[in-house]
Structure 1
Amino acid sequence: MIQHATAYFFTDGNPLRLSTVLGGTPVAQAIRRGHARGKVVAGSGHAGAFLAEHMIAHAEKRSLPERGIVRFAPGLGLTNRVIFVADYTREAWYGPLCVAVAANPFLLGVGIHANAAVVLHPGNLLEGVGAVAAALANGSGITHTNLYEVPFGQSVAIEGIEFQQLPHDHYYNIDQRGLHEEENILAEPARSSF
């Protein structure tokens, strides 16, 4: 039955529960196959974090990065290039987002504020949507971190992480790590929305 759906939408506020219930099941496989065929898969709030391959399963809200404040779990696996934080505020989520990106600089950290959303288009193109901008944490320029050297609970040094804002009607190329304003850069319709 699920393979006949035209789109999939997740609303649960607990991404770890989604991962635990759906991970490795025929339902998850059907959703991934549908996504590969062009069906839209979307998630609101914390459920959006589940859509990516790498997911923050638990995070202690901190304004500074500290070792041990983030726990990871596998998500649905629609993209392996981003990791999401919902209800992003700098005061609560800056630390966890920095730690997540320092742990794997290949990932683009995306902090989604209330009244904001992002759409992932084919070709790893992220579109900003909504009344406020999404926060982007780019770790591709990290030159040093002591994340795995300091004791748990201690502040982490991260050199070279870059933060940007992705406002409405702007696009971010994940592969090139850069912002674009042009609408005509979209070659195909969206398939994922967070």
Structure 2
Amino acid sequence: MSSAANGRQAGALLAYVGTRANEQGEKRDIEIFTDSGQGLANAQDRRGFLHQFTQTFEPQLENTNFIEVRFQLAGDVRDEALPAALNSAFGSKPLVYARKGNTVDIYGHTGERAGRLAKVLAAGRANSRSKALDKIEAGLREAMGKAGVRAAAEVMAAVGNERKAQYFLQKFIRSHDQVRQANG
């Protein structure tokens, strides 16, 4: 159940586990058990359990557009100055970042439609006539500059749905040391 991202997926998983086909191919309920030993004998029991279970789910995100950006800092930037500049560049949208020397990798929300950006990145910048990535990178570079930090920006990845966003966030955290939240 831990891999279910929403109530619909959890319900489908419960229905799959709690039903079997008989010799004639007709679906029939089988009793399954929760982690506390509660038996769920039929579809009605599964629905009741599912209702309780889904109350623990996090609410769906309003914005499911996320990008991963790499900044190359120009010059010496103190760790204390970085969070304010990043928040300025991302408009105070949620983000996490990791710094290694003059390279800062960011994973955060964007106001842009990330599905479109992901397609451009998948096809390769050279194969696209879209200027969307250039526009985002220029905006991030400019916002960082206004916050007193000169940096080149490159969009590395983009995802436009919550499930992929969760996967890429986990991947970002696993692949970077000392990941920090937007407040430092």
Is TM (by shorter chain) over 0.5? no
Greater helix proportion: 2
Higher strand share: 1
State the structure with bigger RCO (CA 8 A, min sep 6), 1 or 2. Answer: 2
The structure having more radius of gyration, on CA atoms, is 2
Please, what TM-score do these two structures have when normalized by structure 2? Answer: 0.24
TM-score, normalised to structure 1, is 0.23
